[in-house]
Amino acid sequence: MGFGPRHSEPSSVILAKARIQIPDQVGDDKRKVGDDRFWLRSRQVEKLYNNPMYDPDCLFCQIVKGEAPSEKILETDEFLVIKNKYPVAPVHVLVLDKQHRVKKDTISGKYIGYWDKLFGTVFDTIRKLGLDKTGYKLVNNGAGYNHFEHEHIHILGGSKEEPAGRT
């Protein structure tokens, strides 16, 4: 569990003292912390209070934070490149944002310069894997084709076969 600015009390205590209103887990209404009907898991407190760019329920956030296993290929200040656990090509890696940014926000232009930085890492990875000489395919799923809202890019190589929507 995260700790507040004074590092002496858990975030949930600080939230309770401040009586911050947070949406109820069941309904649309808002209930105050401390209300007998209100409950909030410590992981949700961490998400709301400590780092809004980390979602503890997101597998990619867990991988970035080291809470879930992965095979790292490349890492920069802003991105992590890992081998895909379920590859559809001989070379299949994922370029993950280290922060939990959702596709609708990255596509809308909310983060200025985001795509330049992301594709810089994508092409560094392509060169590192030697795919710039043998060929590669980039896939960015969305609008129902993506399994995760956390922004990421697939880099596929080592085969001329079309993955046929399996990324």
Residues classed as catalytic:
152
- What are the helix (H) ranges across 19-78? 42-45, 59-65
Place of tokens 């926000």: 105
With contact defined as beta carbons under 8 Å apart, do 94 and 137 qualify? Answer: no
Exposure b/e, 33-59, CB count within 10 A at least 16 = b? beeeeeebeeebbbbebeeeebbbebb
